[in-house]
Structure 1
Amino acid sequence: MSYLKFDKDLMINLEYSLYRNVLRTNRKGAYQNTSISGCNTSKYQGLLVMPVPFLDDDNHLILSSIDETVIQHGAHFNLGIHKYNDDNYSPKGHKYIREFTIDSVPKTIYRVGGVILSKEIMFSSKENRLMIRYKLMDAHSPTIMRFKPCMAFRNISQLTMQNDQVDRSYRKVENGISTSMYYGYPEFFMQFNKQVDFVYQPYWNKGVEYIQDMQNGDTFKEDLYVPGYFELPISKGEEVIFSAGDILVDTTTLADEFNAELQKRTPRSSFYNCLKNSAHQFYYIPKTDEVYLLAGYPWFKVRARDQFISLPGCTLSVGRRDDFVAIMNSSIPHIHDFMNNRPRRNIIKQIEDPDLLLWVIWSLQQYWKEDREGFKERYADFVFSIVDYILSNKHPNLIVDKENGLLLTDGRNVAVSWMNAMQNGKPVIPRSGYLVEFNALWYNALKFSEEVADAVKQEGKATRYGERASIVRQSFVETFLNNAGYLYDYVDGTYTDWNVRPNMIFAVSADYSPLERHQRKSVIDYVTKELLTPVGIRSLSPKGYNYHPRYAGTTEEKEYAYFNGCAFPWLIGPYIEAYLKVFGKSGLSLADRIMIELEDQMQNDCIGTLSEFYDSSPPFYAHGGFSFAMSVSETLRAKRLIRSFE
């Protein structure tokens, strides 16, 4: 019995199947994503989306879909599906689907009369290349299959229309063809593992619509270029493999390659395995000696804050300590360049964010718990250099207040924290001055640095960091703790922000908390009562004046709602960590219940992973990136914390 299985009734119900999709990636930033029905519902979906560095820093949709047709006795049965104007779907291949499962790879079973056909989609782990394996499981008559590729060759955030600039030429290659629609794009190869006929019959598939983009108020209609179609006979029991990518392959090896790739996959047989599989999909290896974490799909690149928050969960929580070291070691030179005002490469985005260095130390602190000797050799001096850099007030937007030791930042005109929504060039939530999570992380960083300095016998540093931490602890309580028993979100001059937001949770979840136990309990009680939902932690209490539980309306209304009520799964990690630290084993029942509720999302939106954020009231629709590294990683870390208490 498959953990993720969808039967005929669910698949033919487009109101259900159009809103669930499957993601497959490689480690070069490319991916394959489409709904489980086979119909693309967003401009960001397609069979092959990949970077094209020659053109820009974005991803590009190369192959939108391939429409299959089963032919028997001259009768054509089309398995593809596209949406057109007035909710017209054509062809209606979903009506032939009998079962859809996701174990190691997505697998669709079609039944057309006496024909039973399976289709498995595999994305190469090393190349920008897709493979699809078709197997004719049963047939009572001679069967022919036809394959019609629909191509886009465009930036994923744009749409294409019929035009005269398309290069319609192609060349024959082994068991297939190669082509490229526009200058600057790589040659695109479509090949099979057996001899195939290609019929050159170019035309435009006009007026294809993307229903989710339309519902979101985004542009949603385009034309797709079809160069012709491939045709081949297939016998009962035979397997045909289609390969599409930017390199020419030896088609005699496709069957062995498909099976070898299959063995590498983590079966999605449980909640944990789904998250583990998803965590691997964020790896990004632009060069053989460098590895990073993408912030998510479909549009995110390597974002500094996201990477270091996600790093422990995506590596240490799934037993990949060496990967943590590889990613951290790839990133350290970029951080050194920033701290020394040297020219920086553009791989890690937003490295100048003022809280970034605090998250780097937090991430390293998680590794310290795994391998202290390795840490002392690799990272002790690096941690000291970060703390000394902050203390010297060299950061362009992070200042140590000389009187109280707390950190100040200017967030009036630029978004400085993870709550980074902008509107009309200004932060939607202009958090400025003393931010609660910045200073909770700062106290934690000072105490952790003191601990490391003691371990490597640098007594002078240990004493200095410890003295600074004592000042910060006292100032933190005096500045942020209010009479109601929770923490101000930020304090800017004489202004104190009373909104109940989740950022105060880090003052409880951090290994070194500036709060006493009864104060930590009071904070966690507020978060539990006002912010906890089945899909994450709300970004604002329902009692808040600006509370918006749904990400809906105009673009401006969505930007406003983003961090004013929507729920974020990644905050479950620090919440469960804080809850277990306060309540110990007695908190396990709530933690387990939270995990069970999150597991329900494995069959929603992007199957087997977690989205960036959700509406914080039923039915808890998902929004943002449909597979988000921080959501996945912090859920994995939470599961590991639960196991450690059990």
Structure 2
Amino acid sequence: MTNLQESLVREFLRTNRSGAYSSSTLVDCNTRKYHGLLVVPVPELDDENHVLLSSLDCTVIQHGAEFNLGLHKYQGNNFSPNGHKYIREFDATKVPTTTYRVGGVILQKEVIFQHYEDRILIRYTLVDAHSATTLRFRPFLAFRSVRQFTHENATASREYSEVENGIKTCMYAGYPDLYMQFSKKNEFIFQPDWYRGIEYPKEQERGYASNEDLYVPGYFELPIKKGESIIFAASTSAIKPTAMKKLFDDEVNDRVPRDNFYHCLVTAAHQFHRKEKNHDRYLLAGYPWFKCRARDTFIALPGLTLAIGEIDYFEKVMMTAERDLRAFMEEKPLSGKIYEMEQPDVPLWAVWAMQQYAKEVGRDKCFEMYGKLLHQIIKYILDGKHPNLRLDDNGLLYSNGKDKAVTWMNSTANGKPVVPRSGYIVEFNALWYNALKFCALMASEKGDAKGAEKVEALAAKVKDSFVETFVNEYGYLLDYVDGTMMDWSVRPNMIFAVALDYSPLNQQQMKSVVDICTRELLTPKGLRSLSPKSGGYNPIYVGPQTQRDYAYHQGTAWPWLGGFYMEACLKLYKRSRLSFVERQMVGYEDEMDYHAIGTISELFDGNPPFHGRGAMSFAMNVAEILRTLKLMEKYSYQK
């Protein structure tokens, strides 16, 4: 903890399951503009999150001597006030807990985010002290979007009002009031000032602007006795100070301990939940900058819910997503909360998600819940209603991705896709074949023999065309085919043609695809997005944003693709591959105490040491690792 080279690369994330979050490094030194102690959505302003309270510096005072436990990075690589040197221990098992030692003073700090409320709670306990001790708290305010910076200005309001055991303040019109309260009476000293030139190295790395000024309205001061605990609450609404202790204890009891790999992943899965005031349920694609995206929702949904036995949450998210998917297919207005519903593979991933649900609860229940939606999706595609998904005479689906990225490989540079996948796209058509076979089975079981026969006939045509179009003489699948244009790059998208329940490939072709993925794409952190043997391999995701965009899908490794690879291995080789899959899981277990503690980064470098990059926590990665663990359990019981 005292070595900043070690501690500044480790981040922590707390969420309230309603879109708000709290995040920083383990030593509470913000290194991203997205970091903050209280970061909340402000729908009245826009659909972004906003940093209200950036940080809270605590100072221990004894015999007139002040020891500031805070830490900020300023321009010129200056760190101040270097409070990290007092840290003796950090424990994240249940509640992130930091223990400071200042001479004979031992102070413990526990931080928790209240579920479904925009309220961060911090409990300070004076474990030991040999003389009278006072704590001073200095709040650093930002009141800005996570995508912007704040600088010293005359517009910012310095007004504040006293509330019970604290104050409320609001720097700019349109923002909610920020309430800062303690469980114990205290003195607030109004001493307004701007702390200038605070710097965020993660933004520097990306070539962005990287410094800002933060406003400090003054400080709170209160005495604390040995063995005593006081609680600080920062929120957009007031709280009764007498209720803080019970609230904190209740929230602690509601947490899953991070005492093993699985529990870390379960906790991470819950962090992607977003419950709106109208009870709509969403899954965020990741933290700190991702919103809810349609493709990510359907891919991540089975792993984040069914794999951990939370069938009811699957149904709640699906209910919300189904409403927007139907609205899109019927050309009606969307709610605006789920982005990228227009992407052509979204309906196909929705069918896959429902197929996973059927495995968990049975096809009868699945048909009862989603039979009409399945029928509508297939009919929608057959009728050619999607603006960028054409059903050709050979049974394959064609999508135009030359000018705008239409697949999960969606990075752009100069307004154009870096990987312009267009035409017959391999995973689109693997998903299409799988969807047809699944829907034919459902129709047959429900007595619609004529409908099932019609869909089966189309599936047979798709199968023949798929093999003819994508299988090449080198034993792998072309990534996309558009007329005479064939992409011979070795990419991971072919793994879906093996992993999905229904494959258009024969056993030998499936084994050949898995073998090539193993030889050229497999890393301890998932599958590479491009083989090192293919042109344009660029595996290190660093540097300015443009440089990162060119590396994003050109060799970086993605754990969620690894999930489908593991499924393909288990499908082909059954229990004989279980020990191999277990060894792969160890590569992810290491991540639990690195990068973002207890969760999985967005992507990893494709070359050793496979460093985690991008967003600190990514839903599809967490989901597919959880789904792999569930699959391992299933295959371990099979003979």
Q: TM-score range by the shorter chain?
A: over 0.9
Confirm or deny: 8 A CA contact 2:273 2:284 kept in the other structure. yes
The answer for the alignment partner of 1:399 in structure 2 is 390
1:77 aligns with 2:67: yes
RMSD: 0.8
* Residue type at the aligned position of 1:168: R
**Code of the aligned partner of 1:561:** A
SS in structure 2 opposite 1:470?
helix
Name the SS of the counterpart of 1:66 in structure 2: strand
Question: Is 2:576 aligned against 1:583?
Answer: no
Per-residue CA deviation, residues 479-508 of structure 1 (Å, 9 max, x unaligned), is 000000000000011111110000000000
Q: Secondary structure at the match of 1:606?
A: coil
Bigger mean CA deviation after superposition, 82-91 or 304-313: 82-91
Which structure 2 residues correspond to residues 223-242 of structure 1 after superposition, within 5 A?
223-242=213-232
In 1, Cα distance between the equivalents of 2:573 and 2:509? Answer: 13
Give secondary structure in 2 for the equivalent of 1:570.
Answer: helix
- 2:10 paired with 1:20: yes
Indicate the larger mover: 614-623 or 446-455. Answer: 614-623
Deviation (angstroms), 1:553: 3.1
Q: Does 1:190 align with 2:175?
A: no
% same residue: 53
- After superposing the two structures, state which structure 1 stretch, 365-374 or 430-439, moved more: 365-374
Question: Which amino acid in 1 is paired with 2:371?
Answer: A
Alignment of 1:558-569 (within 5 A): 558-569=548-559
Residue number in structure 1 paired with 2:511: 521
Secondary structure of 2:495 counterpart:
helix
SS at structure 2 position matched to 1:32: strand
The 5-angstrom pairing of residues 207-606 of structure 1 reads 207-372=197-362, 373-402=364-393, 404-606=394-596
What pairs up with 1:42-57 in 2 under 5 angstroms? 42-57=32-47
Secondary structure of the equivalent of 1:605?
A: coil
Return the alpha-carbon distance in structure 2 between the equivalents of residues 622 and 260 of structure 1.
34
Of 253-262 and 330-339, deviating more is 330-339
- Paired with 1:59 and 1:449, the residues of 2 have a C-alpha distance of 40
After TM superposition, give the deviation of residue 100 of structure 1 in Å.
Answer: 0.3
Listed one character per residue, the Cα deviations across residues 2-24 of structure 1 (whole Å, up to 9, x for unaligned) are: xxxxxxxxx00000100001000
What do residues 340-399 of structure 1 show as CA deviations (whole Å, max 9, x unaligned)? 111112011000000000000000000001112321211112101101110111100001
> Aligned partner of 2:144: which letter?
R
Number of residue pairs the alignment of both structures matches: 635
Q: Any gaps of 5 or more consecutive residues in structure 2?
A: none
CA distance in 1, matches of 2:607, 2:129: 49
Q: Quick check: 2:166–2:182 contact (8 Å CA) kept in 1? A: yes
Cα deviation 1:399-441 (Å, max 9, x = unaligned): 1002x10000000001000000011111111000000000000
CA distance in 1, matches of 2:454, 2:346: 23
User: Do structure 1's residue 94 and structure 2's residue 84 form an aligned pair?
Assistant: yes
Deviation per residue, 1:494-538 (Å, 9 max, x gap) = 111110000000000000000011110000000011001111110
Give the aligned partner of residue 128 of structure 1. 118
Rounded Cα–Cα distance in structure 1 between residues aligned with 2:154 and 2:203: 26
Deviations 1:587-626 (A, max 9, x none): 1111001101111111111110001101111222222211
- Alpha-carbon distance between aligned partners in 2 of 1:214 and 1:111, rounded to the nearest angstrom: 32
Moved more, 504-513 or 614-623: 614-623
- Specify the code of the residue in structure 1 equivalent to 2:254: K
Partner of 1:118: 108
TM, length-normalised to structure 2: 0.99
CA contact (8 A) 1:42 1:212 kept: yes
Mapping 1:595-634, distance limit 5 Å: 595-634=585-624
Counterpart code for 2:374: V
Residue 452 of structure 1 aligns to a residue in which SS? helix
Counterparts of 1:38 and 1:494, CA distance in 2? 55
Shift of 1:288: 4.1
| Higher mean displacement: 623-632 or 359-368 | 623-632
Q: Which moved more, 1:122-131 or 1:452-461?
A: 452-461
For residues 592 and 350 of structure 2, the distance between their equivalents in structure 1, rounded to whole angstroms, comes to: 30
Q: Which amino acid aligns with 1:456?
A: K
Gaps of 5+ in 1: 1-10
Partner of 1:60: 50
User: Does 2:170 align with 1:174?
Assistant: no
Native 8 Å contact 2:69 2:82 kept in 1: yes
Residues 40-73 of structure 1 deviation map (CA, whole Å, 9 limit, x = unaligned): 0111101011101111110111100000000000
Q: CA deviation at 1:556?
A: 2.0
| SS of residue paired to 2:519 | helix
1:24, 1:286 → 2: CA distance? 18
**Cα distance in 2 for residues equivalent to 1:121 and 1:556:** 37
CA deviation profile, 1:423-476 (whole Å, cap 9, x unmatched): 111111100000000000000000000111112111121111111100000110
Q: Could you tell me whether the CA contact under 8 Å between 1:572 and 1:638 is conserved in 2?
A: no
Q: CA deviation at 1:215?
A: 2.2
Tell me, in whole angstroms, the C-alpha distance in 2 between the residues paired with 1:218 and 1:622.
Answer: 20
Q: Deviations over 1:553-575 (max 9, x none)?
A: 33222111100001111111101
Distance (whole Å) between structure 1 residues aligned to residue 92 and residue 144 of structure 2: 29
Q: Give the C-alpha shift of residue 217 in structure 1.
A: 1.6
Task: State the 1:586 CA deviation.
Answer: 0.9
Q: Partner of 1:232: helix, strand, or coil?
A: strand
Q: Equivalents in 2 of 1:82, 1:554: separation in Å? A: 23
How much has 1:287 moved relative to structure 2? 2.7
2:148 is aligned, of 133, 139, 158, to: 158
Indicate the SS of the match to 2:324. Answer: helix
**How far apart are 1:289 and its partner, in Å?**
2.7
CA distance in 2, matches of 1:276, 1:514: 34
Write the distance in 1 (CA, Å) between the matches of 2:538 and 2:110.
Answer: 41
Distance in 1, Cα, partners of 2:616 & 2:624: 16
* 1:195-239 C-alpha deviation (Å, 9 max, x unpaired): 010000000011111122112222111100000000000000000
Distance 1:525 1:618 in 2: 21
Amino acid of the structure 1 residue aligned with 2:380: Y
Q: Distance in 1 between matches of 2:46 and 2:445?
A: 47
CA distance in 1, matches of 2:36, 2:475: 50
Q: 1:218 corresponds to which letter in structure 2? A: Y
Alpha-carbon offset, residue 152 of structure 1 = 0.3
Q: Please, what TM-score do these two structures have when normalized by structure 1? A: 0.98
Residue identity matched to 1:308: F
Letter matched to residue 444 of structure 2: D
Match of 1:386, as an amino acid?
Answer: I
1:320 & 1:119 partners in 2: Cα distance? 32
Structure 2 Cα separation of the partners of residues 628 and 58 of structure 1:
18
Instruction: Give the aligned partner of residue 26 of structure 2.
Output: 36
